[in-house]
Structure 1
């Protein structure tokens, strides 16, 4: 891919002239992977995911063929709580023959969408950036989880025509296809369900949010969790209860993943 944003955050393009990151053709995004120990991934900002290249590099392109390994690597390095005695512990490969591994992969998929270091976002009308062959000024967020037909139905029902029109001629994102084909654990499903409730509840104030801050690209039908959280900040009173419920359910999933990391021998207790 020739032209793409070099990111230092979800919606922030780096001003540097010599980027280290490079986005490959068919890339779903980029995971910064700065170190392999617990402390770097949790407290030092050494692990995060974006929808385009990361200016700092020190990571890997997310591709369909390595997608599951990426979400496992991300979740494992973000979910384990750092302490004074484990911060320098390094990860090793998981035991993929363990009966818990497949569920761990699916848990990691959901975790990777909604962590505080999940910077996946959709962009519209940003310096003519586009990663879709049949669109201009449209950068798809391949990490968006809802089916496009669901988005069309609900945006039409809630009279959100700008969002509805943004779906025209478009297709499902990569993660939405995976979500549609996957049976999730109760913990992962609980997170996904509450996020979908938040997405739906904020739909009625989406147009107001678009007008309030056009830099957030909230007119994108595939706007990611980071963008949705910025919308919630614009209307905190209306969405506070559901956000508290999300935090509770996400912490349960996070603790489960932390335990799975040890059960799969990625770390030693």
Structure 2
């Protein structure tokens, strides 16, 4: 017991932020467009926007290997969530935005899989944004933004190489400054740590995102450019007109336990503990 107490005291002295029972607050309600926890085994949005997702093709839910009660499981075959443009609030991402989610993919070296989009393969004025994960050669995240009045090649497409591990959750945060330069527009965080900016690989650029009447989709993309997602998604959140900073991203990571930062309250508080020595 004496040795344990001495160890704790040494840790506290070595790290000034390590305080037993320390309370850390963060404002995650501002700009929070949607927060899908999947804990009720459905696509219900826990924010006041009520961006409840429709389950198409029977996306399933499991309590095995999830972060909290339940997570969503996509088979990679005609299963996805969606919400019509008329039903959504705050998912017309026309400027800066941030996304946070936990992902556990079933890896397949021949596929590129839709994660989140507002995009079709129709007329130019039906395309807003699309995020997908490409496993065909070098594993990477791909993001495309289509500006107001889009006409090819007048858009921005960027990618960041990262190899996701099957069988374990990875926390992903993507922030986009729509006015940023081509190679410093969108930034990737993995497990609370900044990785770098997406590199533009196609298009002439974008400084806006067009507001379309297209449905929002998760786990699939009706543009026909990508395939269905295969794996698990959990605790998916979108912020409109907000760029999370590195401290906020670290707080969200929170040692693998999602925070309850929705439901209308603008501020979130959680209390650290000695378990895992995860103090921020």
TM-score bracket, normalised by the shorter chain, equals under 0.3
Question: What TM-score results when the alignment is normalised by the length of structure 2?
Answer: 0.26
Relative contact order, higher structure (CA 8 A, sep 6+) = 2
Larger Rg: 2
Question: What TM-score results when the alignment is normalised by the length of structure 1?
Answer: 0.26
Greater helix share, 1 or 2? 1
